[in-house]
Amino acid sequence: MTQEFTITRLGHQGDGIATGPLYVPRALPGEVVSGTPEGDTLAEMRVVTPSPHRVSPACRHYRACGGCQLQHASDAFVADWKQEVVRAALSAQGVEAPLRPIHTSPPQSRRRATIAVRRTKKGTLAGFHGRASDVITEIPDCRLLDPALLAAIPVGEALALLGGSRKGVLAVTLTLSEAGLDVSVSGGKPLDGPFEASLALIAEQHGLARLAWEGEVIASRHAPAQRFGKASVVPPPGAFLQATKDGEAALLSAVREAVGNAKRVADLFAGCGTFSLPLAETAEVHAVEGEATMTAALDQGWRRAQGLKRLTTEARDLFRRPLLPDELSRFDAVVLDPPRAGAEAQVAELARAKLPVIVYVSCNPVTFARDANTLIQAGYRLNWVQVVDQFRWSAHVELAASFSLAHIGG
């Protein structure tokens, strides 16, 4: 039975929430909507009274595609909401901090995306999954992806025809590199000699820089390098990379400012050197990352670069074996960029070590706020938070934050 509801707020996933709670995708606070409740969600939603912040979606695929959650809201609304998500997460931990104006990456700037590709009776279907759905929506006019990345979707289709099945879905990760397209595939059929030869032929036909299948490099025609400061790094297939160059630059600018004149820096959860290598232009850096393939790529990038200070690497699981205070004591500053789980174990040791400067880059405001509270209880001051929105029109929030010991200042 159709009923009307008033949306009171947005949840962390960008859904509108009415009393219940009842989750209403693509609804905004203050709106009156109608539909049929199905469990804790509202089906067949229709907006009765729209919010003044509601706008026409920028992309014609928005209604069916699940790649974006917030194109129905104005840019100003989304920016304010993401700031408030961070503020609320900190407040829940009893923490207050100055939030700088949000930095938002422009449309069509995503340099990396994972598309879903399935074989069909007539050929292939490639794009993004619909929201909470196995249905794939084609995205020829996507407003998220860099045009060069969008133009690469036929590569995924060719790979599905060769190595996919009508029952399964290929996950094809497309990444723009200095040498061309870097492609990594999972979910396909097992490798054998003839199949590998066919894959290598596709890499040649489409001019791919590199093609990897289930983590195994099949063809590497050109090194798919990424530029981090003065260094050029070839990440292992599927390695983490910031979603946009613009967002990466904003985060790096915040990190550099917070690190300041520190001469010895530890970069924890360093990946392939997003921050380590630019910081090595002015400081000695020790980069720690759990994946040895990433530290090897970082080290090679440093060795080939010119004009960088000493950089050392260490492959180490910082969740199980965080750096201890005696190991941290030789650094003037620490940068950490953990995954969504945060860095609870490592932050506990940082709180004991009492380093002058800590810079925290986070993709999860909730775990960041937890870790920030630990540092503040240990005598640190949270100087500022810079929110960065490089996942435009999504509910995803990233930030960089500056901490200093309260008696030292910052």
pLDDT tens column, 121-175: 889 999 999 887 889 999 999 999 999 999 999 999 999 999 987 788 999 999 9
Q: What is the pLDDT of residue 283?
A: 98
Q: If you ran DSSP here, which 8-state letter would residue 322 be given?
A: P
Strand partners, 363: none
Which residue spans within 277-317 are E strands per DSSP?
284-289, 311-315
242 is in an annotated binding site: yes
Q: What is the pLDDT of residue 121?
A: 87
* φ, ψ for residue 278, nearest 5 deg: -60, -35
Query: 192: Cβ–Cβ under 8 A, 6 or more apart, which residues?
Result: none
Are the C-beta atoms of residues 389 and 398 closer than 8 Å to each other?
yes
Query: 311: Cβ–Cβ under 8 A, 6 or more apart, which residues?
Result: 276, 277, 280, 284, 285, 286, 287, 298, 299, 302
Phi-psi map region of 30: left, alpha, beta (phi>0 left; psi -120 to 50 alpha): left
331 is in an annotated binding site: no
How much helix, strand and coil, in percent to the nearest 5, is found in the chain? 25, 30, 45
Q: Among 203, 279, 301, 295, which Cα is nearest to 240's?
A: 295
* Tens-digit pLDDT profile for residues 73-90: 999 999 999 999 999 999
Asked whether the predicted pLDDT for residue 408 surpasses 60, the reply is no
Q: What is the pLDDT of residue 407?
A: 66
* Tens-digit pLDDT profile for residues 284-343: 999 999 999 999 999 999 999 999 999 999 999 999 999 999 999 999 999 999 999 999
Q: What is the pLDDT of residue 225?
A: 97
Q: Which residues are catalytic?
A: 363
Across the chain, mean pLDDT equals 95
269 is in an annotated binding site: yes
Cα separation, 114 vs 66, whole angstroms: 13
